[in-house]
Structure 1
Amino acid sequence: MILTITFTASVAAAAAAATYIYINRRPRVGKRHKSKFHEDDDAQIYVAMSSNALRCYSMSGEDLVLFDTLGEVSDAIREAGLVECQLIIGIDFTASNLTQGEMTFGGRGLHSIEANVENPYQQVIRIIGHTLAPFNETGIIRGFGFGDSETKDTSVFELDPQLHFCNGFKELLAAYNETAQRVTMSGPTNFAPLIHRAINIVRREKKYHILVIIADGQVVDEVRTRNAIVAAAMWPISIIMVGVGDGPWSMMEAFDAGLPARKFDNFHFVDFNEIIKGSNDPDYEFALNALMEIPKQYIAIKNSRLLSGSDSRDNLA
């Protein structure tokens, strides 16, 4: 499939009418342009992408934000005005994790804990935690699990119920490792309780948060999950959903491309295995793809005054 995207007139001069070619939903660029961060009058963000760019794409196709390097993403995040963020990690403990590594994890369960082999959840926690560390000065990361035999699809549990948070991604990894070996996996899968917990945290703290949901498949209650994502767009929260395991990912791709109109596009899906497959630097490329929409999301949050601290949205969450 080949898709040509033409910039709007307000940024055409700056971007020199770049043409992007999609092959299997991965962009390739025919012309080389100087990578530069642009914002038009409508607060839409565009970045020209050079011909040697890594694989990254926006499923929605509305505001295409592309970067050559992870350094450019970090620069764009800072240029957007983001100097600090809080991190929330949600981990899927549904029983499907026991079989979802058949093709992508050597037939092992996705939560398998081994001495010399990182499972996909461990990889994502480490990469995201390390990459966002410069923007998380407090080091506080809140970790939650869902889909086990106790919470099922109705609530979440804290990975560290004593402190209620972890101090850095290494502590989060330790809490995850301990939990993965003792929890009884169940289901069904529902992101709504986790998203509403994140909303409650943001309502209380009045700070920008990034919610990373790591899960192995489709949600059962699509309506509740859709409604929760829409409700979260009333708050300063970016949601990154990282799919691990064999999939399928059609619902997540549909969420990324076709959720109802919101204050801003607050949901971004990343297929972890597809991104790292065949990559010479999987950590780098995953981080790049996971964070590529943060700059435009944060600018949209600022322009919508979602960081104002107002409590007028409480009845909408």
Structure 2
Amino acid sequence: RNLLDLDTFSKSDPMVVLYTQSRASQEWREFGRTEVIDNTLNPDFVRKFVLDYFFEEKQNLRFDVYNVDSKTNISKPDFLGQAFLALGEVIGGQGSRVERHLTGLPGKKCGTILLTAEELSNCRDIATMQLCANKLDKKDFFGKSDPFLVFYRSNEDGTFTICHKTEVVKNTLNPVWQPFSIPVRALCNGDYDRTVKIDVYDWDRDGSHDFIGEFTTSYRELSKAQNQFTVYEVLNPRKKCKKKKYVNSGTVTLLSFSVDSEFTFVDYIKGGTQLNFTVAIDFTASNGNPLQPTSLHYMSPYQLSAYAMALKAVGEIIQDYDSDKLFPAYGFGAKLPPEGRISHQFPLNNNDEDPNCAGIEGVLESYFQSLRTVQLYGPTYFAPVINQVARAAAKISDGSQYYVLLIITDGVISDMTQTKEAIVSASSLPMSIIIVGVGPAMFEAMEELDGDDVRVSSRGRYAERDIVQFVPFRDYVDRSGNQVLSMARLAKDVLAEIPEQLLSYMRTRDIQPRPPPPANSSPTPAPEQP
């Protein structure tokens, strides 16, 4: 709208070029171009760009607008302006619409660009399947195996991303797993011939699960099971190399497979559901003196600490889905000035009335300020801050708000019983918990809170939904020291489960997405703050 007029005898002939940014190299690559619309300063382009959307990734886009006199020659004088934003900002905009000012020509008003996003229909399909296994390898010394399956989607670059874990079936070599549902998009991203890899593991309490074997398939192959059983050989490449007579490590049979269409994560975001992000940071003494380079909180002038990186990685993606960009941020396990009171949920901005920080940069600023004023102490309590966010989430049950709590910690938890109780209670509320472990500690307790293998329980009550995702940050650190890549890898894994956790809450409460608001309606009201 209101583009610059560069033509002498008529109006401009605009065209838009879309560029996407490579995560690894940060280079911009041309993705596509719209048609040229002659003689107008307010063009409505018809050409659509079809992009793969991943909630868990920061997908940066650049839109360059040109005035094209000759359709082949895009030269610098014909540049009308540009806009930078992430795909998540478009999806998270009201009704999945955003308007941005065009920039790039100093001193000139370049007009605006309006962007809308809509989801393609095959993204709505949900696959439901059930599998069993036969004669798996025995891995446990005193018993049989405790098998579970891990599903991976293959990416364009040849890597694999985890997209589902089954439950563990204890002490058997012939397990039958419960039927489960997964969005087709999560399984193959709409490409029915894309490789789906499935690993078979024997569960171990300490998290060092034993690899039994693997097999590959595709969505197209899986879908054939609608008419017949499909049997896959489970192969262990190491054993295959070592043993001449090796046949397989068992078989997995796909017993049933069906496909239905359901509401998607984007339907709810488009209908106005807001993600409310809260941060809780571990200020216990085990992190080390923040003034020393060995500390996990060390404020180096040259690079971010693991705490700051984890906060930035997750926060910068979630903030696109939160219209007010105000984030409550807390610390726990510190002595507060002036009287040295120990606190397990103190506001990082030192304001008990309003713990909100403006944007992720505001949270980082308050975090650095707290490091200068409080004394790191202990013990490590999670329950107070989980209950704090749960109280806010309990007040909103209409699907308009969903709460995400990020806890960053260096390890050993001191209130395991109370934390389990808090998680079980929170599992019936519109909230998810992400725990990022930093530093070299062993994180067995955190693995227990992440209900992927065994659902969290407290005093005989089981969590209604799996709402906790735990990852150790060290698994994502780029060996070459590229912090941007480390943060992208971390965010990709910790955020991957959020859309499905939000959907599981909406489904269990039978909450349907609201229709997208009209283009000129007022924004969503401010959420209840933890």
- TM-score, normalising length: structure 1: 0.71
Aligned to 2:232: none
- Superposed displacement of residue 204, structure 1: 3.9
| 2:372 aligned residue | 181
Q: Check if 1:265 corresponds to 2:466.
A: yes
- Which residue of 161, 174, 188 corresponds with 2:350? 161
Q: Name the SS for the 1:86 alignment partner.
A: strand
Structure 2 partner of 1:43:
none
| Residue 215 (str. 1) matches residue 215 (str. 2) | no
Please point out which of 493, 497, 502 is paired with 1:289.
493
Contact 1:202–1:235 (CA<8 Å) still a contact in 2? yes
Segments of 5+ residues of structure 1 without an aligned counterpart are: 39-75, 309-317
- Whether 1:130 and 2:319 are equivalent positions in the alignment is no
Q: Which residue of 2 aligns with 1:193?
A: 384
AA in 2 matched with 1:145:
G
Deviations 1:117-175 (A, max 9, x none): 210111011111111122112101110000002464x6310112334201110111101
Per the alignment, residue 31 of structure 1 pairs with 216
Q: Report the equivalent of 1:303.
A: 507
1:237 aligns with 2:431: yes
Give 1:78 shift.
2.2
Higher strand proportion:
2
Q: Give, in angstroms, the shift of residue 307 of structure 1.
A: 7.2
* In structure 2, distance between residues paired with 1:34 and 1:213: 35
Q: CA deviation at 1:222?
A: 1.1
| Residues 165-215 of structure 1 deviation map (CA, whole Å, 9 limit, x = unaligned) | 011101111011111122101101010001011112223455210000000
Q: Secondary structure at 1:225's aligned position in 2?
A: helix
Provide the rounded CA distance (Å) in 2 between the counterparts of 1:22 and 1:115.
Answer: 45
CA distance in 1 between counterparts of 2:181 and 2:425 reads 31
Does the C-alpha gap of structure 1 residues 121 and 8 become closer, same or farther in structure 2, counting only changes over 3 Å?
same
* Correspondent of 1:95 among 251, 272, 285: 285
The 3 A distance-change label for structure 1 pair 292 and 79 is: farther
Instruction: Give the Å deviation of 1:274.
Output: 1.3
Contact 2:383 2:419 in 1 (8 A): yes
Moved more, 294-303 or 188-197: 294-303
Question: Which string of whole-angstrom CA distances, capped at 9 and with x for unpartnered residues, describes residues 255-281 of structure 1?
Answer: 213312222111110111112254872
Structure 1: which amino acid aligns with 2:282?
D
Contact 2:406/2:436 (CA < 8 Å) preserved in 1?
Answer: yes
**Aligned partner of residue 149 in structure 1, secondary structure:** strand
Return the alpha-carbon distance in structure 2 between the equivalents of residues 226 and 199 of structure 1: 13
| C-alpha distance in 1 between matches for 2:424 and 2:319 | 28
Q: Which has the higher contact order (CA 8 A, sep 6+)?
A: 1
Opposite residue 184 of structure 1, the aligned amino acid is Q
Residue of structure 2 in register with 1:114 after alignment: 300
RMSD: 3.6
Aligned length: 263
Structure-to-structure mapping, 1:142-153, within 5 angstroms: 142-150=328-336, 152=342
Structure 1 SS opposite 2:218: coil
Distance, in Å, in 1 between the alignment partners of 2:428 and 2:181 is 28
One-letter amino acid of the counterpart of residue 276, structure 1: V
1:78 corresponds in structure 2 to 266
Per-residue displacement from partner, 1:221-268 (whole Å, max 9, x unpaired)? 211111111111121110011101111101101221331222211111
Q: Identity rate of aligned residues, in percent?
A: 25
CA contact (8 A) 1:97 1:110 kept: yes
Q: Which amino acid aligns with 2:367?
A: Y
Counterpart contact for 1:235–1:306, Cα < 8 Å = no
SS of equivalent residue, structure 2 residue 335:
coil
Kept after mapping to 2: 8 A contact 1:113/1:181: no
Q: Which runs of 4+ in 1 moved over 4 A?
A: 1-12, 14-19, 22-30, 79-83
What corresponds to 1:71 in structure 2?
A: none
The CA deviation string for residues 76-126 of structure 1, in whole angstroms up to 9 with x for no partner, is 742565742000000000001118x9xxxx961011112112101110111
More helix by proportion, 1 or 2?
1
Higher CA-based Rg: 2
Distance 2:216 2:293 in 1: 42
CA separation of 1:306 and 1:191: change in aligned 2, threshold 3 A? farther
Contact 2:277 2:319 (C-alpha < 8 Å) held by counterparts: no
Q: Which runs of 5+ in 2 are unaligned?
A: 1-138, 140-146, 151-165, 167-176, 202-207, 224-263, 513-530
TM-score (norm 2): 0.44
Contact residue 331 and residue 344 of structure 2 kept, 8 A: no
Name the aligned partner's letter for residue 158 of structure 1. P
SS of residue matched to 1:209: strand
What amino acid maps onto 1:93 in structure 2? F
Work out whether residues 269 and 321 of structure 2, in 8 Å CA contact, stay in contact via their aligned partners in 1.
no
State the distance in 2 between where 1:146 and 1:9 align.
40
Query: What is the distance in 2 between the residues matched to 1:171 and 1:306?
Result: 36
